[in-house]
Amino acid sequence: MQLAGQSGPQKMSPSIYAALVDSLFQDPGPMFAGALCAAVAAIMTAVKTGTEWLWPCVVLLVVTGAVRALDTRRYQWRTSELTSDEAARWEVRYQVGAMLYAAALGLWCIVAVFGSTDATAHLICISVTLCYMAAGSGRTYGRPWIFHVQMLLACGPLTVALAVYGNPYYFGMAILNVLFFFSLKHISTRLQEIFVRALLGREREAALAGQFDTALNNMPHGLCMFGADGRLAVMNHRFKEMMNLSDHLMHRGASAANIVAACVSAGCPALLTLSVTGRVDLTPADPLDRRVAAAFNAHQRRDNRLGPDAVAVAAENFRRAGAEVITRPSPWRLGAAHADLTAAWFTGWVDAACEQDPELDVDAYRRRRVAAVTVDHVDVLVSNRAESA
């Protein structure tokens, strides 16, 4: 349990942008392992073919791979929160490192394919480059355009080399590379859309929670709400002050009995308003009214909730604690003068009933039913007996 206050068009906020850049630098281990494997593979092609021009490619792969891994480690060592300006700088650093490494892979592929006729060397450079690109789509989903450029710099030279090699099977591989590029491009773009939607949803939820907390904590009255488990889910600061509740009681999740005892102990009157009793009267009566009402009341009692029994249970708990309890009816009477409110209430009432009893056939009932409605509620006033005497 925690106190309240602890907690249009889609436009990317600075925090979302920072989160996208942050995703580029997560877990440097796989990046280092990939760079190491590519370097070993390049060494294997150089040794296997004896082509001297492959050794400079080995050096390029080792240097650029090591620089990228170290830069990712430096990012992990940061102690300050990532601001929008810092995110922009780190994004540029990632772009430069990623593109240099992809260009080194592309150069290695060209030299390996054109520099020798060794099919083993060709297989090694093709498989390693394609595997690297497939893995890269998972790392750069936050900024997919970087990955697209990486693919062009690495797979582009490889595809050209295969296409002009003069072997029809190599030409077929070149065509497959093109299809592979567009498939990964689509996947990485979709991944970013999903990620951004999730971040936007989280931001909206945080904003709504903040507005809810502000509204609660600016109320002049104390207010608390209980969850389905019967324990305190949220309260405002005014309620805590009135009840003189301890932090220990709040953080372990007070039960209704705890709150009743605190209320009586504080000698503080309590007013429980608009408590549903389960009775609804509609005019004129309809044969389906009782069944819909019964399904709605069952819906209110689901998962061990009190629903229409809440008034009786609350009153009994307060009486047992020694408080004087007064109950009075406070029905809603809705009719033609409240057409919009009546329609909104009726829709919610029937929807809840149908959720509880899916076999209810209410299509015709909905059309004929919105007329005059009385929704019974009971207000409960609790006062300290010593004060009343």
| pLDDT tens digits along 132-143 | 888 877 777 778
User: Can you give the pLDDT at residue 110?
Assistant: 93
Q: Which residue has the tokens 């007996």?
A: 385
Residue 177 lies inside a defined structural domain of this protein: yes
Confidence of residue 327 (pLDDT cuts 50, 70, 90): confident
Q: Quote the pTM value.
A: 0.55
Is the domain of 115 the same as that of 264?
Answer: no
Question: In the chain, which ranges are E strands?
Answer: 2-3, 224-226, 232-235, 270-283, 323-329, 332-334, 372-384
Give the per-residue pLDDT at 75. 87
Domain that holds residue 263: 224-268
Does residue 153 sit in the same domain as residue 238? Answer: no
Indicate the number of domains in the chain: 3
- Is there a single domain that holds both residue 234 and residue 121? no
Retrieve residue 266's tokens: 């504080």
Q: Are residues 256 and 322 in the same domain?
A: no
pLDDT at 9 > cutoff 70: no
32 in the same domain as 162: yes
Q: What's the DSSP call for residue 232?
A: E
Report, as an integer, the average pLDDT of 291-315. 85
Q: In the structure, what pLDDT confidence band is assigned to residue 337 with cuts at 50, 70 and 90?
A: confident
Joined together, the tokens standing for residue 323 give 């408080």
**Reported confidence tier of residue 124, pLDDT bands at 50, 70, 90:** very high
Q: Is 58 inside a domain boundary? A: yes
Residue 6 inside a domain? The answer is: no
Q: Is residue 358 part of a domain?
A: yes
pLDDT band at 84 (very low <50, low <70, confident <90, very high): confident
pLDDT of residue 118: 92
How does residue 379 score in pLDDT terms, banded at 50, 70 and 90?
A: low
CB 300 within 8 A of CB 307: yes
Q: Same domain for 231 and 90?
A: no
Q: Is the domain of 322 the same as that of 200?
A: no
pLDDT of residue 42: 92
Q: Is residue 211 part of a domain?
A: no
What's the whole-number mean pLDDT along residues 101-125?
92
Q: What is the pLDDT of residues 215-252, one digit of tens each?
A: 877 888 777 777 767 777 777 888 777 777 777 666 66
Per-residue pLDDT at 7 exceeds 50: no
The answer to whether residue 212 is domain-embedded is no
Least confident of 237-251, 321-335, 375-389: 375-389
Judge whether 250 lies within some domain.
Answer: yes
Range from 29-33, 63-67, 351-355 carrying the lowest mean pLDDT: 29-33
Is residue 181 located within the same domain as residue 120? yes
Q: Which amino acid is at 136?
A: G
Asked if residue 45 and residue 177 are part of one domain, the reply reads yes
CA distance 168 to 292: 72
Residues 53, 165, single domain; the answer is yes
How are strands ordered across the β-sheet holding 2-3? 2-3, 232-235, 224-226
Q: Give residue for tokens 């002009």.
A: 164
Which range is most confident: 47-56, 72-81, 269-278, 303-312?
A: 47-56
Say whether pLDDT at 389 is over 60. Answer: no
Q: Which residues pair with 323 in a beta bridge?
A: 384
pLDDT at position 266: 76
Assess whether pLDDT exceeds 60 at residue 45: yes
Tell me the helices (H) and strands (E) count for the chain, helix number first. 15, 7
Q: How much is the mean pLDDT over the chain?
A: 81
Q: What is the pLDDT of residue 272?
A: 75
One domain for residues 109 and 43: yes
Which of 27-31, 88-92, 227-231 is the least confident region? 227-231
Asked whether residue 53 falls in the same domain as residue 201, the answer is: yes
Please report whether residue 2 resides in a domain. no
Is the confidence at residue 372, as pLDDT, over 70?
A: no
